[in-house]
């Protein structure tokens, strides 16, 4: 496999989020398989389907000149293929040509699965699926329920996409929200945020209200005569916790089922990296109760008892 096809990323935080997703997959298909729904898995940033992990050699057993071990481990798409009971259909999206080629090869390994591959923009595909899929069924087809995984490489997911998912009232969503990206884009002083960054934050959050929520006026300095500067001085008072809480409120404004408190994912140094949110669009009490039960267990324990290797 060429370097373009290999999807190199990860570490402990990647395993952490994928283990939680896998735990929900198995519990989700098990719980709903007898309910008469067609269950569809949607992976908007599927990558190559697997990931390459570099494992350093152990010092005690290290041989001079020995290279660190490189292993290929399942990514989100491959875990979806391996889910038992299986999904009724899968939609895998990847914009990068090299990773998409690898994804096609992975699909060919599972000829019994119904899979749609999209070499396109994730936002466009997800919004189209949300609008055009007959979620409530028709006289000739059963209702459809979806499980969506949003794991962007940065701040690619727009709020328009999030709102479209919520409007289906049929999708359970796991979303890896770029907490550190938001924090870094929102400079301490508003004047330091250029138009491009401001537009990106508006697109991701679906509003410009964050400017009023995250920034507060501070006491203005006075000159030697005691007069304050006429300019309004504002600084960001929102820390990572406040920004994460704001994102949860934004999600709760459109998802009428439930939005659970997120799992904070940290980098190897212990710094906040992102927040793994779970939200269900279905407002029906029974659907909310089931989703809450499964997702809460997965978020708190990290992996469902039904997702252990067989």
- The residue-averaged pLDDT of 299-309 equals 52
Would residue 1 count as lying in a domain? no
C-beta atoms surrounding 197 within 10 Å: 15
Work out the average pLDDT over 18-36.
93
Is position 265 within any domain? yes
- The answer to whether residue 4 sits within a structural domain is no
Q: Decide if pLDDT at 248 tops 90.
A: yes
Kindly give the interhelix angle for 159-168 and 122-132, rounded to the nearest 10 degrees. 20
Say yes or no: 279 and 227 in one domain.
Answer: no
Residue 204 shares a structural domain with residue 118: no
Distance CA 110, CA 282 (A): 30
Q: Which of the pair, 57 or 51, is modelled with greater confidence?
A: 51
Domain assignment present for 100? yes
- What is the model's pLDDT at position 310? 26
The confidence band for 304, taking pLDDT boundaries of 50, 70 and 90, is: very low
Confidence of residue 109 (pLDDT cuts 50, 70, 90): very high
Examine the fold and report which residue of 237, 253, 268 is the final residue of a domain before the chain moves on.
Answer: 237
Q: Is residue 7 a part of any domain in this protein? A: no
Range of the domain at 201: 187-237
In-domain check, residue 2: no
Q: 117 with 220, same domain? A: no
Same domain? For 106 and 226 the reply is no
Torsions phi, psi for 262 (to 5 deg): -75, 165
Of 120 and 232, the structure prediction assigns the larger pLDDT to 120
- Do 198 and 256 have their domain in common? no
Question: In terms of Cα–Cα distance, which of 189, 183, 186, 184 is closest to 218?
Answer: 189
Summarize pLDDT for 199-228 with one digit per residue, the tens: 999 999 999 999 999 999 886 655 555 555
CATH code for position 20: 3.40.50.150
Name the pTM for this structure. 0.85
Position 191 in a domain = yes
pLDDT, residue 72, reads: 56
Both 153 and 301 in a single domain?
Answer: yes
pLDDT tops 60 at residue 57: no
Closest C-alpha among 17, 40, 213 to residue 114: 40
More confident residue, 218 or 236: 236
Tell me which of 237, 252, 278 is where a domain ends. 237
Same domain, 83 and 194: no
115 and 154 inside one domain:
yes
Per-residue pLDDT, averaged over 148-156, amounts to 95
* Number of domains making up the chain: 2
pLDDT tens sequence across 115-142: 999 999 999 999 999 999 999 998 899 9
Distance in angstroms (rounded) separating the CA atoms of residues 216 and 65? 56
Please answer whether residues 88 and 39 qualify as being in contact, where contact means their C-beta atoms are separated by less than 8 angstroms: yes
Clarify whether residues 228 and 248 are in a common domain: no
pLDDT band at 11 (very low <50, low <70, confident <90, very high): very low
pLDDT at position 225 is: 55
Residue 308 in this model has a pLDDT that exceeds 70: no
120 and 147 inside one domain: yes
277 neighbors 248 (Cβ within 8 angstroms): yes
Q: What percent of the chain has pLDDT over 70?
A: 80
Q: Are residues 80 and 213 in the same domain?
A: no
Please write down the HEC assignment for all residues of the chain.
CCCCCCCECCCHHHHHHHHHHHHHHHHHHHHHCCCCCEEEEEECCCCCCEEEEEECCCHHHCCCCCCCEEEEEECHHHHHHCCCCCCCEEEEECCCHHHHHHHHHHHHCCCCCCEEEECCCHHHHHHHHHHHCCCCCECCECCEEEEEEECCCCCCCCHHHHHHHHHHCCEEEEEEECHHHHHHHCCCCHHHCCHHHHHHHHHHHCCCCHHHHHEEECCCCECCCCCECCCCCEEECCCHHHHHHHHHHHHHHHCCCEEEEEEEEECCCCCEEEEEEEEECCCCHHHHHHHHHHHHHHHHHCCCHHHCCC
- What mean pLDDT is reported for the chain? 86
Q: Is 200 found in the same domain as 175?
A: no
Residue 244 has pLDDT above 60, yes or no: yes
Residue 29 lies in a domain: yes
Q: What is the pLDDT of residues 43-55, one digit of tens each?
A: 999 998 865 555 4
pLDDT grade, residue 10 (50/70/90)? very low
Residue where a domain stops, chosen among 195, 218, 237? 237
């Amino acid at each position: 496999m060429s370097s373009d096809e290999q999807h190199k990323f990860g570490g402990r935080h990647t395993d952490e989020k994928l283990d939680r997703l896998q735990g929900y997959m198995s519990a989700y298909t098990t719980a709903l398989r007898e309910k008469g729904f067609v269950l569809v898995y949607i992976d908007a940033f599927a990558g190559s389907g697997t990931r390459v992990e570099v494992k350093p050699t152990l010092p005690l057993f290290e041989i001079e000149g020995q290279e660190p071990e490189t292993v290929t481990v399942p990514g989100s798409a491959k875990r979806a293929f391996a889910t038992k009971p299986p999904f009724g259909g899968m939609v895998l999206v990847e914009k990068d040509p090299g990773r998409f080629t690898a994804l096609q090869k992975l699909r060919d390994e599972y000829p019994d699965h119904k899979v749609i591959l999209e070499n396109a923009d994730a936002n466009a595909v997800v919004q189209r699926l949300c609008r055009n899929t007959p979620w409530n069924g028709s006289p000739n087809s059963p209702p459809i329920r979806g499980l969506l995984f949003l794991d962007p490489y940065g701040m690619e997911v727009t709020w328009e996409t999030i709102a479209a998912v919520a409007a289906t009232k049929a999708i359970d969503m796991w979303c890896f929200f770029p907490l550190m990206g938001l924090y870094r884009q929102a400079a301490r002083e508003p004047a330091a945020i250029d138009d491009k960054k401001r537009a990106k934050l508006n697109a991701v959050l679906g509003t410009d209200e964050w400017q009023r929520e995250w920034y507060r006026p501070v006491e203005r300095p006075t000159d030697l005569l005691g007069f304050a500067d006429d300019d309004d001085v504002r600084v960001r008072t929102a820390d990572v916790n406040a920004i994460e809480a704001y994102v949860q409120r934004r999600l709760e404004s459109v998802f009428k089922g439930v939005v659970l408190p997120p799992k904070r994912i940290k980098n190897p140094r212990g710094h906040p990296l992102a927040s793994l949110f779970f939200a269900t669009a279905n407002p029906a009490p029974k659907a909310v109760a089931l989703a809450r039960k499964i997702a809460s267990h997965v978020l708190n324990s990290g992996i469902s008892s039904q997702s252990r290797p067989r």
